Structure 1
């Protein structure tokens, strides 16, 4: 799938949407996310693009499932980062709302996600639905 604007909706300094190539593509290709928020955004983009290997690779080994099945009929509509805060050295929480449609029904996923940095790389640990 060709993607011009990045699905995560990140803006540049001039409040313009970043391209996928300038935003999440380098992370999907193996570059380490500089912070947990960027990892969160890249994971959202991976859901949009059905990049299961990336989602599993960025999931902490202590909570990562053996496999991941994505809902193929989901139409992703947008991501809103509500807040992010440090909870300790190399630990961060990101609160977000992801919106999508499934079988014609609007779904709003509001989650507080926890991330940890190990060996210079951020990983998704788990989250609580709000």
Structure 2
């Protein structure tokens, strides 16, 4: 597990430090909402923490193994919508990643279920595509700078 003091801003885009945000869930705390679980799962993909990802996946849809060696370099996360009703929840998000040839995204409507007080990722409807940011648009890496002054 990464040293919490070396990650200033949590990869989930919460504007908090990793130590004050997703680290607690990676160490076993229960995520209070589907959105909090989704953010912690994105951060786990970002940091390549397959054990946490499998543990937060519902047993009915959990893969037997999870190899993140060929996973893209995840850059930023945008939560587009989040809701919960009783013991079910949905999170619509867009995750940006870097490829050798440029930028891509994964957008998904994820479903979550709560069992014994703990939220689990159940399934999603993913859609992938290529991003073609303009020079004056915000950089997809999430730095807040213009693309031309950052990752162009």
TM-score (norm 1): 0.89
Matched with 1:9 is: 13
Q: Deviations over 1:25-72 (max 9, x none)?
A: 000000000110000000000000000000000000000000011144
Is 1:126 paired with 2:123?
yes
Which of 89, 92, 95 in structure 2 is aligned with 1:95?
92
Checking the alignment, whether the CA contact within 8 Å between 1:78 and 1:100 is kept in structure 2 is yes
Bigger Cα Rg: 2
23-32 vs 65-74, greater mean Cα deviation: 65-74
Instruction: Report 1 or 2 for greater relative contact order, CA contacts < 8 Å, sequence distance ≥ 6.
Output: 1
Matched with 1:18 is: 16
101-110 vs 22-31, greater mean Cα deviation: 101-110
Superposition pairs for residues 1-130 of structure 1, below 5 Å? Answer: 1=2, 2-10=6-14, 17-72=15-70, 74-86=72-84, 88-130=85-127
Tell me, in whole angstroms, the C-alpha distance in 2 between the residues paired with 1:104 and 1:73: 15
Q: Deviations over 1:82-111 (max 9, x none)?
A: 00123x420011000000012233111010
Tell me, in whole angstroms, the C-alpha distance in 1 between the residues paired with 2:101 and 2:72: 9
Evaluate the alpha carbon distance shift between residue 39 and residue 93 of structure 1 in structure 2; reply closer, same or farther with a 3 A threshold.
same
Q: How many residues are matched?
A: 123
- Structure 1 gaps, min length 5: 11-16
Tell me, in whole angstroms, the C-alpha distance in 2 between the residues paired with 1:113 and 1:34: 16
Tell me, in whole angstroms, the C-alpha distance in 1 between the residues paired with 2:50 and 2:126: 21
